[in-house]
Amino acid sequence: MRNYNALGLIFANMHDEAIRDCTAVRSMGSLPFGGRYRLIDFVLSGMVNAGITKVGVITKSNYQSLMDHLGSGKAWDLSRKNEGLYFLPPRSSDDAMYQGRIGSLADVIPFLNHSKEELVILSDCHVVSSMDYQAMLKAHVESGADVTVACQHGVVPTLSDIPVMTLDAEKRVADLLIGRISEEEAYYGVGAYVMRKDWLLRTVTEAVARNQLHFERDVLQRRLGELRIYGYEVPSLMMPIYSVESYFKANLALLENEVREQLFPKSRPVYTKLKDCDPVQYGLHAQVTNSLVGDGAHVDGTVKNCIVFRGANISRHATLENCVIMQNVTVGDNCKLGNVIADKNVVFRNGCRLQGSDSYPVYIAKNSIV
C-alpha cells in the first residue's frame, strides 16, 4: 500500500451551531459517542490508518475537553519527537473570521509553511464513519484534480453550508449548490477535502485579500468553471450528526450488528483515549437487553436498547429504554426514562419520569439535577 505524502487538518468546531444543546460546553469534535468514543476519534483514526503522521487540530472555542481527551496523541501513535499531533488554537478573538474555513486556515498558514507534505486533507468531525482516506488520496492523485470532495448520495442533511453537487460520468463536479434545497436525494459533501498544499496556501491568501471567508461558497462554487473539482463517493457507512435527533439515532444505530461491523472494520480500527476502569457491575436485579454498556458502569435496573457510557450508575428498579446515558450519570431508584439523552454528570432523583420520542428525544444538559 502506497503511503501518500499528506498531512491532516481537522476542524474541531465546524458545525457546532447545528447541535448547540450538546456543544454549548464542548466542541463538536469532543462530543461523546457510542459509550466510549468522541466524534474526533473517527476522523483522527482514519487519518492514522492512512499512514498520516502529522495532524493539526484547528479549534475555535470550548476546546478544553478536547485537549483533555487527545492529550499528546499517544492513543493514536501521534506522540512523536518529529511530527505527530498539533493543537492549533485561534489567534484572533474576532468570531467573524471563523464563520467559514478560510479564517481558520489563514491562522494556520505558518503551520502549513513549515510542513513538508505535498497534500493536505481537510476534515470536519460531524460524520461518524470508518472512511478510507488512503483510497481518497489515491483517487485525488489519479484524477489530477485541484480539489477532491468526499461525498455521499442520499437525503441531504439540514446544514446551512453543506455543498450539494451534480457529478458527471467522470465524477467531476458539474454544478454545486450551498445548503439543502429539497428533501430529494443528491450528492452532498461530508466535510472532507483533499488538495495540494501549495494550492491551498495560494488560495487562502488570495481569499483573505478579497475578504472571502467561506471555502465552499467563495472558492469552490465561485471558481467551479476554472477548477478541476472531483467528487469521491465514500463507499463505507456514514452517519452525519446535524441535530440532536440525528445524534440520538446514530448512537442507537450501534445496537445493530451490521452497523458495528461497517463502522469498526478490523482493517481500520478506531482508537480512543484509554481509561483503566473496572468491568461493568450488574446487580442482582439487573435486566439488560440489546444495549452497549461501558466499563466502570453499575447497573441494577432494567436497561433496554440503550447506550450507557463509562461510570454510569443505574439504580434498583429504574427502567431505561432507548436512552443515551453519558459518563458518570446517576439514575435513582424507580426512575423511568424513555428516549432520553443525559449528558455527563446528570443526576436523576428517585422516582423521576421522562419520556421523549424517536423524532424528539429529551436532552438533559451536563451537570443537571432532575
95 or 190, which is more confident: 190
Q: What is the pLDDT of residue 180?
A: 84
Distance, CA of 262 to CA of 242 (rounded, Å)? 21
Q: The CATH number of 6-263 is which of 3.30.465.10, 3.90.550.10, 1.10.3430.10, 3.40.190.10? A: 3.90.550.10
Distance, CA of 370 to CA of 362 (rounded, Å)? 12
pLDDT band (50, 70, 90) for residue 159: confident
Q: Model confidence over 23-41: pLDDT tens digits?
A: 888 999 999 999 999 999 9
b/e burial code for range 188-211 (CB count within 10 A of at least 16 → b): bbbbbbbbbbeebeebbeebbeee
pLDDT band (50, 70, 90) for residue 80: confident
Q: What is the pLDDT of residue 95?
A: 56
pLDDT at 125 over 50: yes
Q: Model confidence over 48-72: pLDDT tens digits?
A: 999 999 999 999 888 888 999 999 9
120 CB contacts (<8 Å, ≥6 apart)?
Answer: 6, 7, 8, 9, 112, 194, 195, 196, 197, 200
Residue extents of the structural domains in the chain: 6-263, 281-364
pLDDT at 2 over 80: no
The residues that bridge with 153 in the sheet, in sequence order, are 187
pLDDT band (50, 70, 90) for residue 94: low
Q: Model confidence over 321-334: pLDDT tens digits?
A: 999 999 999 999 99
pLDDT band (50, 70, 90) for residue 92: low
Q: Model confidence over 198-250: pLDDT tens digits?
A: 999 999 999 999 988 899 999 999 999 999 999 999 998 999 999 999 999 99
Average pLDDT over residues 96-116: 83
Q: Model confidence over 163-173: pLDDT tens digits?
A: 999 999 999 99
Side chain identity at residue 140, one-letter code: H
For residue 313, what is its C-alpha cell? 450508575
Q: What is the pLDDT of residue 121?
A: 97
281-364 is a CATH 3.40.50.300 domain: no
Q: What is the pLDDT of residue 26?
A: 92
pTM of the model: 0.94
pLDDT band (50, 70, 90) for residue 93: low
pLDDT band (50, 70, 90) for residue 98: low
Using CA atoms, how far residue 126 sits from 40, 164, 203, 345, in Å, is 8, 17, 25, 23
Q: What is the mean pLDDT of the chain?
A: 92
The residues that bridge with 233 in the sheet, in sequence order, are 151
151 or 16, which is more confident: 151
Q: What is the pLDDT of residue 184?
A: 84
Helix (H, G, I), strand (E, B), or coil: what is residue 315?
coil
Q: What is the pLDDT of residue 97?
A: 46
